[in-house]
Amino acid sequence: MIIITICKDDPDGLFKTYKSILNAISRGLGVSRWVIKLSSKSDISLKYIGSLPTFAIVSEEVDCSIYDALNQAISAVPNEYNCNYVMLLHARDEIANLSVQQFLYINEELQNANFDILIANAKTNSNQVIIAFPKIVGVGGLNFCHQSAFFKLRLLKNYPFPLRYPIAGDYSQFISMEKIKINYLEMSLVIFDVEGISSRSVWHTRKDNFKAGFKVYGILEVFRLLYMLAFRFFYKWL
């Protein structure tokens, strides 16, 4: 399994993510590569990490956005790993403190996989749970935290993140994918830092998601959005 972490001048955030990765590995999570995508050669994010583990790769290519950075990091992984799964864990996000048995179960799922994406739940750093409901995944929005999923590397290379949407690039990417098989994990895999751009404004997030969805589904995206919002409303109150 490969972890990709993008960051920009955030030594505290990268160190927080680094500690959580080492903790997960010590509890049994199998990690073959960790790609750290810095924003440039002058990026100071590695300031508090004395020595990187041998499985770490650092990319210092200049990027123009979060999704451009992700695409560059994905491209930096050699093709020999195309059948491996990738976890997109950004700086400040953490792998949850799961049990040894849970990490070993994840390893088994990834080793015996016949799916393209394995999606788990996530928690925010304010303890809100982001549940990946299969009925609304990719409906009117991504509706799962992309940090709490494992993607086949080949899939990410075949479907790079579009750069036209500053917030909804992950949703646009997801709905462009054809004939993918998804499995689900009933556990919270990551602790998601809510300071990310998509968390700052629900309105801007919904607006960017709608633009991405409308480009693919046209007016049908209105009904997809309403279905998703109704599902969330009734789940909250029932």
Could you give the angle at which helices 66-75 and 169-176 cross, rounded to 10 degrees? 50
User: Where residue 127 falls among pLDDT bands split at 50, 70, 90?
Assistant: confident
Q: Are 2 and 11 in contact (CB under 8 A)?
A: no
Q: Dihedrals φ, ψ of 77, to 5°?
A: -85, 125
pLDDT at 196: 55
- What is the rounded distance in angstroms from the CA atom of residue 135 to the CA atom of residue 190? 21
More confident residue, 108 or 238: 108
pLDDT at 49: 95
Give the Å distances, CA to CA, from 28 to 78, 112, 170: 24, 17, 29
Q: Are 96 and 188 in contact (CB under 8 A)?
A: yes
Once rounded to an integer, what is the mean pLDDT over residues 63-74?
A: 96
Please give the mean pLDDT across all residues of the chain. Answer: 94
pLDDT at 144: 96
Q: Are 194 and 125 in contact (CB under 8 A)?
A: yes
- What is the rounded distance in angstroms from the CA atom of residue 37 to the CA atom of residue 89? 11
pLDDT at 208: 95
What token pair was written down for 14?
A: 């990268």
What token pair was written down for 197?
A: 């751009």
Nearest to 225 by CA among 216, 185, 156, 236: 216
State the pTM of this model: 0.94
| pLDDT tens by residue, 14-46 | 999 999 999 999 999 999 999 999 999 999 999
| pLDDT tens by residue, 85-100 | 999 999 999 999 999 9
Other C-beta atoms lying within 10 Å of the C-beta of residue 201: 12
C-alpha dihedral over 204, 234, 180, 170, to 10 degrees?
10
pLDDT at 126: 84
Burial environment of residue 217 by CB neighbours within 10 A (0 to 12, 13 to 18, 19 or more): middle
pLDDT at 172: 98
pLDDT at 56: 96
Nearest to 96 by CA among 117, 122, 119, 127: 122
| pLDDT tens by residue, 177-220 | 999 999 999 999 999 887 754 445 788 899 999 999 999 999 99
Give the Å distances, CA to CA, from 131 to 34, 104, 124, 136: 26, 22, 11, 10
pLDDT above 90 (res 137): yes
Positions of E strands within 135-195: 149-152, 182-192
Give the Å distances, CA to CA, from 120 to 17, 183, 219, 224: 18, 9, 30, 22
Residue 60: DSSP 8-state: -
What token pair was written down for 141?
A: 């929005």
- What is the rounded distance in angstroms from the CA atom of residue 49 to the CA atom of residue 56? 12
pLDDT above 60 (res 238): yes
Once rounded to an integer, what is the mean pLDDT over residues 214-233?
A: 97
